[in-house]
Chains A and B, each alone.
Chain A
Amino acid sequence: MRTKSLLCIVAALALCLLVSSGSATQARAAEPYNLGVALAITGTGALYCQDGVDAIKLAVEEINAKGGFLGKHPIKLFVRDTHTKPDAAVRATRDLILRDKVRTVLGTYSSATAVAIKPVCQEYKVLHIPAISNSEGITLTNFSPYTYQVVPNSYMQAKAVVLGVAALAKKKGWKTFVTIASDYEWGRSTQQNTVALLKQMAPNLKLVKEFWPPLGETQFTSYITAIMAQKPDFVIGSIASKDNVAWMKQAKAYGFFKKIPYPGSLISVTELILQAKTLDRGLVGLCRAPFFAHLDIPMMANFVAAFKKKYNRYPSDWAVMEYDAVYVLKQGIEKAKSIDTEKVKAALKGATVATSRGNLYFRNIDNQLSCSSYLGVVADDPKYPFPIYHDLVEVKGPDSWRPEKEILAARAAEKKK
């Protein structure tokens, strides 16, 4: 009796072993790579994020057509909505990690949400690649080795604007200016960086007043009249997405841009396309990744063609950067020769990667990609049904990012707190 039951146990154990080893070999043969996307499908950021999600889907299709990462790990995509809210983003990220078992989270829109999910990714040792939200706070302090930033951050963009504006101010004899920025993390940090840098580069410029419309403002008339009353030489704005659409539309109806120069505010390809008919030509705008700046790079040319074929429209900055994010991950995995997150993380450290914006590298100190910011004059172009930037100035990443010394100082100050 005893031997019989012993035999039974041994047999059961053997069976268990067989089954588990069988499934293990199977898993090794074709383990899918679960890729998470935490973007704003609804809320303020939806306008930009839809393009980002479409570009990610395109990149995933292209890679999966060749068998997936390393030719053997097909990508399984999991998209969750952050509602453009930090708490919802944290929930979405946790769900991506714990339920969907993703190894990388691409996201997010709205820097407040990126800052919120960064520690979550770090806690679960999951890679985090923000490609739309660009507050410098994402990489400056509370540094996470799991976060790799592939969008020019707010400091870099502000510095690019300042380089352009300081030159213009000198040329035109400007003395006073006013700022208007959305009252949240990104708006605040962008405005602060711009003002600090302007003071450095053009010390005689005077900031007359700051305006802080709440995020989600639909009616800017009172701000517009108040700014016009100040009669500044120029205005610096940091307003994004649908708020920016409302602001531009209403300011234009007041003849604002004809009266007061408004250089270097964010006019991404999304705005160029959406406001094709109404955007004032001659505006000096700033953007993060305009496809038309790099059509000489085969990767960009192919991407634009494929995106146009699949979605019947041109890709925005957001599409370009999310597309790059997937390919950055791909190159990290190839360099690591493994999908193991720790190995990929190590492989990306300081790595040079091929992107649709050219060959760029991650800076060691903050994992910031050396990507450029772009300034130009809005002008019609016979090649496109919408205006693009002419006299495009490309301010390279290494010319615009914060000096390492200052980063170390900020982190030392953070530790003291």
Chain B
Amino acid sequence: MDLSLLLSQAMSGLSRGMMLFLIASGLSLIFGVMNILNFAHATLWLVGAYACYTFWFLLQAHGFAIWVAIPLAALCVALVGWIIEVVLIRRVYARELPEQLLLTYALVLILGDLIKITWGVEDKLIARPAMLADPVIIAGVPIDSYFIFVIAVGFAVYFALWWFLQKTRYGHIVRAAVFSREMVSALGIPIPIIYTGVFVMGIFIAGLAGAIQGPVGSVTLGMDMAIVIQAFCVVIIGGFGSLPGTLVSSIIVGEVYAFAILFWPGGALALIFILTAIVLIVRPWGLFGTPMRA
């Protein structure tokens, strides 16, 4: 087994992990701050992919189409997230978890049908940007250049979120709200606005991830359900509400999958779930979570 092989497998695992991180980070953030388990998160991710297709389709004559389509799609999905928060989610903060789950699951079905009505049932194809069409050779190993872009975006999102939470006033407020919303509220800070902001931010990242997913394969109905379970696994392993936890567990899940394919191709997916089950049993609050939350 040579080194270049391990490197190429590690890189493909990292790209897989980063794609998961982009989905799971918003999920984890929303749960950490608002205590809302948003089942519809991956469906909003899918909306991002479809929106990206529409913008790309309108602009495809230009070389920059995809670079404009991705942020526009993310903003669109953020707008949808804002509407959902104001109209629906806001009303269930105080309710029990099963009720929240039912509501967000209903959203999965509603959004799924809306996607069908808006974009039809045919698969949508987004051409890759020309500059990312050919592989990059690193240490003699070819690596898909688009996934290098994905990895870069993943780390950029991580550092942006980290900077926001650690270094800004609003970030401090959000972190304070995780621990005691009563205290934050008593200091005269309007909690509903903070919640709306966090929700929209989480959904924005989901939309961004979806838009970036667009050119990877084809955009199709049902893609969200295949990925949502893996995103939940990532969040469980990393610990709900922990940003570094989500990053680390995304990379773990991506790498475990990539190397399982190399050594035990049949059991790759099973291994992820076994890992999740072990974490749930041994450390239910996740690798980086705090027991208080569990």
- Please give the residue numbers on chain A whose beta carbons come within 8 Å of chain B beta carbons, in ascending order: 41-44, 46-47, 50, 209-212, 214, 216-219, 221-226, 228-229, 242, 245-247, 249-250, 253-255, 274-275, 277-278
Q: Is B221 among interface residues, defined by CB-CB distance under 8 A?
A: yes
Assuming A218-B226, A255-B142, A278-B127, what are 15 further A-B pairs, CB within 8 angstroms? Answer: A42-B222, A46-B122, A47-B220, A209-B265, A219-B16, A219-B19, A223-B261, A225-B12, A226-B262, A229-B5, A242-B217, A245-B217, A249-B128, A249-B218, A254-B135
A-B contact pairs, 11 of them (CB 8 A): A46-B221, A211-B265, A219-B16, A221-B12, A221-B16, A226-B265, A228-B8, A242-B218, A245-B217, A250-B217, A253-B144
Q: How far is the CA of A195 from the CA of B257 in the complex (A)?
A: 26
Minimum C-beta distance from B269 to chain A (A): 6
Closest 10 CB pairs of A and B: A246-B217, A221-B12, A222-B258, A225-B8, A229-B5, A245-B218, A222-B12, A253-B144, A216-B226, A222-B261
A246 touches B218 (CB 8 A): yes
B213 touches A218 (CB 8 A): yes
B220 touches A242 (CB 8 A): yes
B15, B125, B146 interface centre (most CB from chain A within 10 Å): B125
Q: Is B223 among interface residues, defined by CB-CB distance under 8 A?
A: yes
Chain A residue with Cβ nearest B266: A212
* A-contact 0/1 string along B101-124, CB 8 Å cutoff: 000000000000000100001110
The interface residues of chain B lying within 8 Å CB-to-CB of A209 are 265
A42 touches B121 (CB 8 A): yes
Q: How far is the CA of A356 from the CA of B262 in the complex (A)?
A: 45
Minimum C-beta distance from B7 to chain A (A): 9
Of B123, B127, B133, B217, the residue contacting A46 (CB under 8 A) is B123
A255 touches B135 (CB 8 A): yes
A254 touches B217 (CB 8 A): no
Q: How far is the CA of A212 from the CA of B260 in the complex (A)?
A: 12
Q: Is B99 among interface residues, defined by CB-CB distance under 8 A?
A: no
A210 touches B265 (CB 8 A): yes
Q: How far is the CA of A247 from the CA of B132 in the complex (A)?
A: 17
Of A226, A247, A277, the residue contacting B261 (CB under 8 A) is A226
Minimum C-beta distance from A175 to chain B (A): 20
A46 touches B220 (CB 8 A): yes
Q: Is B92 among interface residues, defined by CB-CB distance under 8 A?
A: no
Q: How far is the CA of A50 from the CA of B12 in the complex (A)?
A: 34
Chain A residue with Cβ nearest B128: A253
A226 touches B121 (CB 8 A): no
Minimum C-beta distance from A408 to chain B (A): 33
The interface residues of chain A lying within 8 Å CB-to-CB of B13 are 222
Chain A residue with Cβ nearest B116: A42
- Please give the residue numbers on chain B whose beta carbons come within 8 Å of chain A beta carbons, in ascending order: 5, 8-9, 11-13, 15-16, 19, 116, 121-123, 125, 127-128, 132-135, 142-147, 213, 216-218, 220-223, 226-227, 257-258, 261-262, 265-266, 268-269
Chain B residue with Cβ nearest A251: B144
A253 touches B135 (CB 8 A): yes
Chain B residue with Cβ nearest A252: B133
B133 touches A253 (CB 8 A): yes
Q: How far is the CA of A246 from the CA of B218 in the complex (A)?
A: 6
Q: How far is the CA of A224 from the CA of B133 in the complex (A)?
A: 16
Minimum C-beta distance from B145 to chain A (A): 7
Q: How far is the CA of A218 from the CA of B227 in the complex (A)?
A: 9
Minimum C-beta distance from B190 to chain A (A): 40
A47, A222, A226, A228 interface centre (most CB from chain B within 10 Å): A222
Minimum C-beta distance from B274 to chain A (A): 16
Q: How far is the CA of A48 from the CA of B204 in the complex (A)?
A: 33
Q: How far is the CA of A212 from the CA of B79 in the complex (A)?
A: 39
Minimum C-beta distance from B12 to chain A (A): 4
The interface residues of chain A lying within 8 Å CB-to-CB of B121 are 41-42, 46, 50
Of B122, B144, B223, B266, the residue contacting A254 (CB under 8 A) is B144
B145 touches A222 (CB 8 A): no
Q: Given A219-B216, A222-B16, A253-B146, are A44 and B9 neighbors across the interface (CB < 8 Å)?
A: no
B262 touches A229 (CB 8 A): yes
Q: How far is the CA of A211 from the CA of B265 in the complex (A)?
A: 6
The interface residues of chain A lying within 8 Å CB-to-CB of B218 are 47, 242, 245-246, 249
Minimum C-beta distance from B113 to chain A (A): 10
Q: How far is the CA of A229 from the CA of B9 in the complex (A)?
A: 9
The interface residues of chain A lying within 8 Å CB-to-CB of B123 are 46-47, 242, 245
The interface residues of chain A lying within 8 Å CB-to-CB of B220 are 44, 46-47, 242
Q: How far is the CA of A228 from the CA of B135 in the complex (A)?
A: 13
Minimum C-beta distance from B217 to chain A (A): 3
The interface residues of chain A lying within 8 Å CB-to-CB of B135 are 253-255
Q: How far is the CA of A226 from the CA of B144 in the complex (A)?
A: 14
The interface residues of chain B lying within 8 Å CB-to-CB of A221 are 12, 15-16, 144, 147, 258
Q: How far is the CA of A30 from the CA of B210 in the complex (A)?
A: 53
Q: How far is the CA of A254 from the CA of B144 in the complex (A)?
A: 5
The interface residues of chain B lying within 8 Å CB-to-CB of A253 are 128, 132-135, 144-146
The interface residues of chain B lying within 8 Å CB-to-CB of A247 are 217
Chain A residue with Cβ nearest B265: A211
Q: How far is the CA of A44 from the CA of B12 in the complex (A)?
A: 24
The interface residues of chain B lying within 8 Å CB-to-CB of A223 are 261
Chain A residue with Cβ nearest B145: A253
A44, A223, A242 interface centre (most CB from chain B within 10 Å): A242
Q: How far is the CA of A247 from the CA of B144 in the complex (A)?
A: 13
Chain B residue with Cβ nearest A220: B217
A43 touches B221 (CB 8 A): yes
The interface residues of chain A lying within 8 Å CB-to-CB of B227 are 218
Minimum C-beta distance from A214 to chain B (A): 6
Q: How far is the CA of A255 from the CA of B266 in the complex (A)?
A: 25
The interface residues of chain A lying within 8 Å CB-to-CB of B258 are 221-222, 225-226
Chain A residue with Cβ nearest B20: A219
A222 touches B257 (CB 8 A): yes
B127 touches A277 (CB 8 A): yes
